[in-house]
A and B are shown apart, each in its own frame.
Chain A
Amino acid sequence: MDASELLFFDSAHFAEMTGGDPEFQKDISGLYVETVAGLLQDLEKTTELEECRRIAHRIKGASLNIGFQKLGMLAGEAEQEMVQENLPAFRLSLEQAFQEVRILLEQQPFYSGSAG
């Protein structure tokens, strides 16, 4: 799939995965934000490339499953293409994309912050 075809947030997928249940949507979105925030903190501290790729892989999986396609795809690129030289750039772009995710979530009626 081309990047331009990706939705930033696939709300239909999110609705399907959550069964449209607002209470579950609140829980899962909070857990997602908490999980990815933790992973990004780990990514900030880690210099070992294999571990960085593993973290990117986890961000990718969680993001795609919940419907954040662009963050998922960006994390997938990081997983595939990350080398020591572009590690700071990937960190920054993942962090920025995640901030956009948070902003979008905060506009959702079901969202009430991270689970933690």
Chain B
Amino acid sequence: MTSLENPVPGGIYIQNIEQRLKSLILQLAKDTSRPWKVLSIGMAPAADVMPIWASGHLAGITYQQLLDSGLFAEPPVVFLCGDQSAILFYILKEKVDGTELRPQVERILFEGAKARLWQEFELPRQTQDFLKTCQRYLRDDVKTVLAEPSAAKLDTFPLSTPAFVHAVQNGRKRGRLRILIVEDDPVTGKLLLQLLKDYDVKLAVSAQQAVENYAVFLPDLVLLDVGLPQISGLEFLEVLRSHDPKATVVMLTADSKKETLEKAVGGGAVGFIAKPFTFQKIRFYIEKIESR
């Protein structure tokens, strides 16, 4: 039996790909609310068009690997939704090696971060051209829909891996104090990196990046901006504390509204640093941790 290996570097997601995939498939199979079913393994960035074109891989996993994985009693019907790579995979499989995928595509939906990227930072015209290309190859009744990016959701998988759970249960390694800064403003991020250069520091610019960094870095202290884009600092705080109740989080904010303070304290933050911050303000919390 072939194992589902992922030759495309995909960070933490490479771990336990089989379990993740299986769980995803089961979850989707049970979800009757969707007008289409999705086998979405969209880990390959849109920029990876060429490797996908060349290899026929879907996010590093070929259809043959799916078939050989033993996860399916019979060949899975693949419903495609999502990114460029998934759609290209479908087209290429049909056109190049003639694999009988016959996905029952009801629609192709560009959604989430990639749609946003395509629309805002890449070439909208290319997106439209690509939609036309899709329609050339798909059945006539298949609709291609360029959807509004859906509400951002935090993928907390990295905080659920056995390795992370084990690390949390067994305590943090001793050594240089580790600090995770979660701040989307590049100026503030750079200032903090400079101020904290004597510590082991990582910078995340979004809640999602913070999840991924936290899982591998397991910091002693998180300096968390309240006003992150898409998923706010307060939402991230809630998720983080539910996975690691011992997480020490200090919020950074340019507004000191009572409501925000209350939410942060209620969510388990140990403190607040109002902008403009100084090293002294941060040092206060560092000393508290070091004296434990």
- A, B bound: yes
With contact pairs A28-B190, A28-B194 given, residues A64 and B276 touching in the complex (Cβ less than 8 Å): yes
With contact pairs A19-B194, A28-B194 given, residues A62 and B276 touching in the complex (Cβ less than 8 Å): no
- How many Å lie between the Cα of A71 and that of B134 in the bound state? 49
- How many Å lie between the Cα of A8 and that of B54 in the bound state? 57
Say what secondary structure dominates the interface of chain B. loop
Complex interface: chain B residues within 8 A of A17 (CB): 191, 194-195, 278-279
Contact A61 B190 (CB under 8 A): no
Closest chain-B Cβ to A81's Cβ sits at a distance in Å of 13
- How many Å lie between the Cα of A28 and that of B194 in the bound state? 10
User: Contact string, A71-114, partner B, CB cutoff 8 A, digits 1/0?
Assistant: 01000100100000000000000000000000000000000000
With contact pairs A61-B275, A65-B276, A65-B277 given, residues A35 and B194 touching in the complex (Cβ less than 8 Å): no
- How many Å lie between the Cα of A19 and that of B197 in the bound state? 11
Which residue on chain B has the smallest CB distance to residue A76?
A: B254
Contact B194 A32 (CB under 8 A): no
Interface size on A, residues (CB 8 A): 25
Which of B187, B254, B279 is close to A32, meaning CB atoms less than 8 Å apart? B187
User: Is B185 interfacial (CB 8 A cutoff)?
Assistant: yes
- How many Å lie between the Cα of A61 and that of B189 in the bound state? 11
User: Is B149 interfacial (CB 8 A cutoff)?
Assistant: no
User: Contact string, B84-99, partner A, CB cutoff 8 A, digits 1/0?
Assistant: 0000000000000000
Interface size on B, residues (CB 8 A): 18
- How many Å lie between the Cα of A13 and that of B187 in the bound state? 14
Contact B276 A31 (CB under 8 A): no
Contact A60 B190 (CB under 8 A): no
User: Is B227 interfacial (CB 8 A cutoff)?
Assistant: yes
User: Is B171 interfacial (CB 8 A cutoff)?
Assistant: no
State which residues 128-164 of B face A: CB under 8 Å. Answer: none
User: Is B175 interfacial (CB 8 A cutoff)?
Assistant: no
Which residue on chain A has the smallest CB distance to residue B277?
A: A65
User: Is A16 interfacial (CB 8 A cutoff)?
Assistant: yes
Contact A62 B194 (CB under 8 A): no
With contact pairs A32-B187, A66-B187, A76-B254 given, residues A16 and B278 touching in the complex (Cβ less than 8 Å): yes
Q: Which are the 9 A-B pairs with shortest beta-carbon distances?
A: A64-B276, A62-B187, A61-B254, A32-B187, A65-B276, A64-B275, A65-B188, A60-B254, A62-B185
